[in-house]
Chain A
């Protein structure tokens, strides 16, 4: 058995050393990874680049662990890097490079049959913190509020705390969903549901976007909307070769067209 095992181990270790350089491994945010980046990747390949993509989108927190351990070439994140994460990468002897990719707005969505159209920032805070338990408290049809949030590793989860919750936690009754789409479909099927999704995911037909104190999440009105945020690409050290080409492509005109199509706000418009 032992020689066989040894041989196996040897085979594996030999193979582990071999990583073809033309695979771009992209890890991180679901907001970016579920829709935008796969499409950017497809378009990039269509341009004739010989590269294969490896995309896993489990949440922004995975971005930096993967970059630090060298298991990703590009990290995508819907929030800015935290100080301790930067320090983590720094401690591996590499510098973190940051690229603003596009802007996103977090839309508050409710079921389309809910008569409410507008909520104030304070009401949003109270609803997500669990203070407001019933729709009648904000002038809606009586019924207990069901809150849908993203799972805890998501950048949107943290961004929303920072932008809307004034440091408070989500109410214990909130349900943690795996992705934006799942929130959209649950809110769509629950008359009393409320949740937040990235602008790109708010097109589902059973939900409607509400305005926040009159501000609409629209590209033209981004400055007034309280829950708008940039999204980022991160690389470990100065990108080279295909990695650089891909990032350049994403920031180019062709990339921005895709960004806009998917429902994000291209940088040129956001500025």
Chain B
């Protein structure tokens, strides 16, 4: 906290007022009370961040180059084996190392403890979160920017607009767990799928001849989770984008239209180019929000344990004479399959670590390490956004 010394202001109109009149004492008192309130917020935040950093940094960072714990960031979560010998030495290892060590110790082995999810690293959850964020921000940016353009460029009055604004406000207030319920009902259980064998839970099927459009849902997968998250962050993105569009001076539009451009040309050539950096900046905040939400993905995408990355799949090898088209099709399907699988996600992984495994010196490493990395990711996103907003403000001065 920066404490600027309180300089008793000498009222120029009345220089004879005492330096410590009752009012001044009162004012400085009130000022200090208010400052203390502010200080509480700042110090509590600092304490939390410091605690996590002190406990988590040694796990995620390292003293030598490249200064990060590469193994922690590039391995999948696994079970931690803690082997103790009769002299009380403790060896931590994974399932592959455990056997060799046990063999080596022989009769000297005292006990072997296993702690789920605490070994390895957190690559799986990071990748999963990244995929969820990509899908959700993609969808939300598309819908959000388009909505914002309508709100800001096409109409600003009328019942429809009022309703949209009301909806945005209310959508922003809907609890995240209700979004989870919505995602479960809408995407996991009802969204349309082309399939040859519709499930009987489909509420509606539409035979198309070669296939059937069945409203049976996408199951829990990245797409379901991403779409759910998209609607969680949609209000944020719309509001931010609208502000950015409004910030573009009116003269730009008037000039453009005076030159004979259509409304669309005006938006595309004269408004959007100046608003895009701002929109992107604010969308980073949306990313941070999407990455941090747990409740919406609990029933729509997240998985407690998965031992492969989404794209690591055993391919059914095609017959040697398979056509180029077959290979091409397989590759496409492989790519798409990435998004139709459940993934581990960082927030859900932390939930698992916090609720499902014991709190002891062995699990602490994984717990604080994950929390630290997660916090760093989210905080750096937020910081980038703040910093970019500042530099933008400095750059565009109309």
Residues in A lying within 8 Å of B, measured CB to CB:
9-18, 20-23, 30, 33-35, 38-39, 41-43, 45-46, 50, 52-57, 69-71, 178-179, 181-182, 184-185, 203-204, 261-262
Contact = CB atoms under 8 A, between A and B. Distances in A.
Contacts of B342: 54
A14 B339 CA distance: 11
A247 B358 CA distance: 28
A262 B194 CA distance: 44
Contacts of B201: 69
Contacts of A262: 114
B303 A46 contact: no
Interface string B289-304: 0000000000000011
Contact of B79 (A42, A52, A178, A185): A42
Contacts of A13: 192-195, 213
Given A39-B79, A53-B306, A179-B355, A18 B337 contact: yes
B19 interface: no
A55 B221 CA distance: 14
9 contacts: A12-B336, A12-B339, A20-B316, A35-B116, A54-B303, A56-B303, A71-B220, A184-B358, A185-B358
B305 interface: yes
A14 B355 contact: no
B219 interface: yes
B303 A42 contact: no
Contacts of A10: 194
Contacts of B218: 12, 16
A17 B341 CA distance: 11
Contacts of A52: 306-308, 312-314
B307 A16 contact: no
Interface of B: 78-79, 95-96, 112-114, 116, 191-196, 199, 201, 213, 218-221, 223, 303-308, 312-314, 316, 333, 336-337, 339-340, 342, 355-360
Contacts, number: 117
A54 B313 CA distance: 13
Contacts of A56: 303-305
Contacts of A53: 305-307
A15 B333 contact: yes
A14 B95 contact: no
A12 B193 contact: yes
B314 A20 contact: yes
A57 B304 contact: yes
Given A42-B78, A45-B307, A54-B342, A14 B116 contact: no
A41 B307 contact: yes
A154 to B, nearest CB: 12
Contact of A16 (B195, B308, B314, B359): B195
B356 A30 contact: yes
Contacts of A33: 304
Nearest to B195: A17
Contact of A12 (B223, B304, B357): B223
B377 to A, nearest CB: 24
Nearest to A261: B112
